[in-house]
């Protein structure tokens, strides 16, 4: 027999777990110091409990102002790329424990190098939101997809539940604490 404590019914228009988890990845991306690309990752277990977050940045202990944030230069080491730890790897490294069997939500489809980290960590599913902006990453993400699939990692693109997401974003932007300034 179901428990019955009140006559009020549960709210039915809650966020789906997928939308909730992808929003956490998006919010996490806003910690990135990268002026051109902000990527966020969120790892949860199969019951959607938080395991870790990560964003693209320099390694811990390195001042982000100490590197060049250029995307192109004659010498690769005059760009940001050799110094950035991707969001997916940061999320795996930031976890307090094992992420084996977990789900990874990431705002940009993982590159081939991150795919190797995801596989080695034992993550069972990757849910991604969009493709990288630059064509230079196209081959890397295609190869990353292949690696993940060959390793048996489930990979899928996130699809927002649009009407509910719009309600949620309107609620957030209208929240009274944001208007107190």
Choose among 93, 84, 108: nearest CA to 43: 93
Length of the chain: 181
Could you confirm whether 159 is annotated as catalytic? no
Give me the half-sphere count of Cα atoms (radius 13 Å) on the Cβ side of residue 174.
Answer: 6
Helical H segments across 74-137, by residue range = 87-94, 112-121
CA distance 90 to 165: 27
According to DSSP, the residues that pair with 54 across neighbouring strands are 41
- Sequence-distant (6+) residues with CB within 8 A of 94 are 52, 53, 54
CA distances from 141 to 69, 108, 130 (A): 22, 9, 11
Q: Which of 65, 88, 170, 180 is catalytic?
A: 88
Instruction: Please identify every residue annotated as catalytic.
Output: 88
């Amino acid at each position: 027999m179901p428990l019955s404590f009140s006559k009020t019914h549960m709210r039915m228009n809650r966020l789906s777990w997928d939308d909730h988890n992808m929003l956490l990845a998006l919010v996490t991306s806003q910690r990135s110091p990268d002026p051109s690309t902000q990527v966020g990752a969120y790892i949860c277990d199969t019951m959607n409990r938080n395991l870790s977050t990560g964003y693209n940045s320099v390694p811990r202990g390195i001042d982000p102002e100490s590197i060049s944030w250029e995307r192109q230069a004659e010498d690769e080491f005059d760009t940001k790329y050799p110094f950035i730890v991707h969001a997916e790897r940061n999320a795996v490294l930031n976890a307090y424990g094992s992420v084996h069997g977990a789900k990874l939500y990431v705002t940009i489809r993982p590159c081939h190098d991150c795919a190797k980290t995801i596989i080695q960590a034992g993550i069972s599913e990757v849910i991604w939101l969009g493709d990288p902006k630059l064509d230079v990453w196209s081959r890397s993400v295609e190869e990353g997809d292949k690696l993940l699939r060959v390793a048996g990692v489930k990979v899928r693109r996130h699809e927002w539940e649009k009407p509910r997401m719009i309600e949620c974003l309107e609620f957030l932007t209208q929240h009274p604490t944001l208007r107190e300034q």
